[in-house]
Amino acid sequence: TLTLTLTLTLTHTPILTLTPILNLTHSITLTFTLRVMSFVETFVEGLRNMKASEYEINVRAAVANKLLADKSIEEEAQRQWSEVDMRQYRFRRGEEEAAAMRAVSQPQLASWAKVSLLSKQASQLTIVVNARTGTAAALDAHPTSLPGEGARGAEGGAAAAPRSGGGGVRSPRRP
């Protein structure tokens, strides 16, 4: 079996880092974790050593992405209704976040990344995701089954849930 663990490292703002844990041996887990941490260290160091002009180009690109216009009335409605659903009512969220992105200097971001991603004080949230173990035949046999409704592999892993026509997401039933 294969278990993938995603570790969300938090201090003040969430940053997603991947730390898979394989149910094979401790040494494989340790090796993979060390490789992930090596990548994160390289990323943080690269951010710290980035040329100011390169940092500005990246900030401008991120801001432009944040300020992309809605492509349809449906996108605009979804964006506006999500503010209502969250009870945030920040209808100019994109502009606010773009301004905040412009206000963060490279040294500030590099310092924040070092503390958030590499410090011992960073808290972690671990989410375990089990690999799908059902076969394609099992999925074909139960094309409309949700997890827990019959399309299970030999190891008991749930099959992927298809999208329903109603647009809603159903919660799987507990066995």
Q: Three-state secondary structure along the chain?
A: CCEEEEEEEECCCCEEEECCCCCCCHHHHHHHHHHHHHHHHHHHHHHHHCCHHHHHHHHHHHHHHHCCCCCCHHHHHHHHHHHHHHCCCCCCHHHHHHHHHHHCCHHHHHHHHHHHHHCCCCEEEEEEEECCCCCHHHHHHCCCCCCCCCCECCCCCECCCCCCCCCCCCCCCCC
Please name the fold of domain 3-131. Cytochrome Bc1 Complex; Chain A, domain 1 (3.30.830)
- pLDDT single digits (tens) 149-175: 444 444 444 434 433 344 444 444 444
Average predicted confidence (pLDDT) for the chain: 70
pTM above 0.85, yes or no: no
* Annotated domain spans of the chain: 3-131, 138-175
Residue 27 burial by CB count (10 A; 0-12/13-18/19+): exposed, middle or buried?
exposed
Percent of the chain with pLDDT over 90: 41
Between the alpha carbon of residue 66 and those of residues 15, 93, 102, the distances in Å are 17, 9, 11
Residue 24 has which token pair?
């094979």
> From CA 47, how far away is CA 113, in angstroms rounded?
9
- pLDDT single digits (tens) 9-46: 444 444 444 444 444 445 555 676 777 788 889 999 99
Q: Which of 93-97, 117-121, 145-149 has the lowest mean pLDDT?
A: 145-149
With contact defined as beta carbons under 8 Å apart, do 127 and 12 qualify?
no
